Homo-oligomer: A and B are copies of this chain.
């Protein structure tokens, strides 16, 4: 059982076939696991066996880099993560082969209708008996706009305005029914109590939605809401709506500031800091010795051609043709972006602080797309995680692996037992719902 120490939360960010852009080329990698559902199930069950709070799928509603492809850039043909299983269908399927782990998937507020999203996630919460989470995002990449009738991408501020209203509609729809609304009484023939049903009658700038939702109140009250934006409006939206915040943080001090900032904003919305779990991403590279770990990291990096690294960096450098700059010269300054603002800032900070050249920056980004890479022994990595937990840098971590299944198995079998020995990670699930396992209180409800 959990002791009195603060407890780490762990998410398994399943970025198949691997988050490192050359991860799929590793001799032990399984390149086609991106489309093989049996692998998704195997990884989800492995995560459950090791007591992760949740698995997590990011999402893009496009072939990433398709604009560059269209312009004839064949480097893109060397990037994996071009296709994948759609995350909500995948979550629903994974609910059947698992029983305790949380199931979180991303769905964009930019190219969906709130009624459809409210309904699908509520359904997965019912199918999984209270283990579902929705990662609310605004769409980041220009490629996506072209699949939804738009020539250019929706403006950053407008996307957040829409996201806030989207959330209001979705969370309102999740309150359509009181828990006891359905009588299903054969004798009297009464199916439900209309006084325990609510029309939403939302009329806003972006949406009008009458409701009620055609799904009852869910086992968790409502699905968990996750957020990943780290820009100003992103943090504000998180403070207002999120149960869980995913973020990219590479330095403890910046992580502490982000942590305090987001948690501090919760009061504005009648919430408290405990209502949000902040989970930066980490990419572990494990060895029995520090040297062995570093060797593993170097091996992966050796599989990454320079032009692929540059193509990866180019995703975050719109407005600047980085290919025209000298490889070993300094990282060029970037104009303010409309998408992935905070990730862009993180990359620039990393380049400046490490005094990295263009190609060094590109190769670092390719390794973990801006997330923190932890190269070392199980003890070293456990030390780092514990320090961030104790010092207010994180409530937990989202574990992102360079390829699957090896590094995921390494972290699960080598680091998790060490975290358990230190008394900062569970040895059994606390509850049956994701909300219970995350230690979150019941959501607000119009019915109580």
Give the B-binding residues of A (Cβ under 8 A). 22, 24-25, 27, 29, 31-32, 35, 37, 41, 60-64, 66, 69-70, 74, 76-80, 82-86, 88-93, 95-97, 111-113, 115-116, 119-120, 122-124, 126-127, 146-150, 177, 182, 184, 186, 189-194, 197, 199, 207-216, 303, 305, 308
Closest 5 CB pairs of A and B: A146-B210, A31-B184, A86-B123, A89-B92, A96-B96
Closest B residue to A61 using CB positions:
B115
Do A147 and B111 have beta carbons less than 8 Å apart?
Answer: no
Distance in angstroms from A124 CB to nearest chain B CB is 5
CA of A126 to CA of B34 in the docked complex: distance in angstroms?
11
Do A62 and B92 have beta carbons less than 8 Å apart?
Answer: no
CA of A72 to CA of B243 in the docked complex: distance in angstroms?
37
Q: What B residues does A92 contact at CB under 8 A?
A: 89-90, 92-93
Closest B residue to A115 using CB positions:
B147
CA of A75 to CA of B97 in the docked complex: distance in angstroms?
40
Q: Which of B63, B79, B211 is in CB contact (< 8 Å) with A147?
A: B211
CA of A214 to CA of B189 in the docked complex: distance in angstroms?
48
Q: What are 16 contact pairs spanning A and B, CB under 8 A?
A: A37-B127, A61-B214, A69-B194, A74-B194, A82-B214, A84-B214, A86-B123, A89-B89, A89-B123, A111-B115, A112-B113, A115-B147, A146-B208, A148-B209, A150-B208, A189-B305
Copies in the complex: 2
CA of A267 to CA of B61 in the docked complex: distance in angstroms?
36
Distance in angstroms from A76 CB to nearest chain B CB is 8
Closest B residue to A123 using CB positions:
B86
CA of A346 to CA of B218 in the docked complex: distance in angstroms?
38
**Contact A191 to B123, CB < 8 A, known contacts A90-B92, A111-B116, A147-B210:** no
Do B124 and A89 have beta carbons less than 8 Å apart?
Answer: yes
Do A147 and B85 have beta carbons less than 8 Å apart?
Answer: no
Do A113 and B111 have beta carbons less than 8 Å apart?
Answer: yes
Do A193 and B77 have beta carbons less than 8 Å apart?
Answer: yes
Determine which residue in A80, A123, A182 has the highest number of CB atoms from chain B within 10 A of its CB, and name it.
A123
CA of A213 to CA of B184 in the docked complex: distance in angstroms?
43
Q: What B residues does A41 contact at CB under 8 A?
A: 96
Do B199 and A70 have beta carbons less than 8 Å apart?
Answer: yes
Do B24 and A86 have beta carbons less than 8 Å apart?
Answer: no
Q: Which of B93, B126, B308 is in CB contact (< 8 Å) with A95?
A: B93
Do B63 and A212 have beta carbons less than 8 Å apart?
Answer: yes
**Contact A184 to B32, CB < 8 A, known contacts A88-B89, A111-B113, A214-B82:** yes
**Contact A83 to B214, CB < 8 A, known contacts A77-B190, A78-B191, A149-B208:** yes
Do B148 and A115 have beta carbons less than 8 Å apart?
Answer: yes
Q: What B residues does A62 contact at CB under 8 A?
A: 214
CA of A212 to CA of B64 in the docked complex: distance in angstroms?
10
CA of A124 to CA of B82 in the docked complex: distance in angstroms?
18
CA of A97 to CA of B127 in the docked complex: distance in angstroms?
13
Closest B residue to A189 using CB positions:
B78
Closest B residue to A187 using CB positions:
B25
Q: Which of B24, B84, B210 is in CB contact (< 8 Å) with A184?
A: B24
Q: What B residues does A76 contact at CB under 8 A?
A: 194
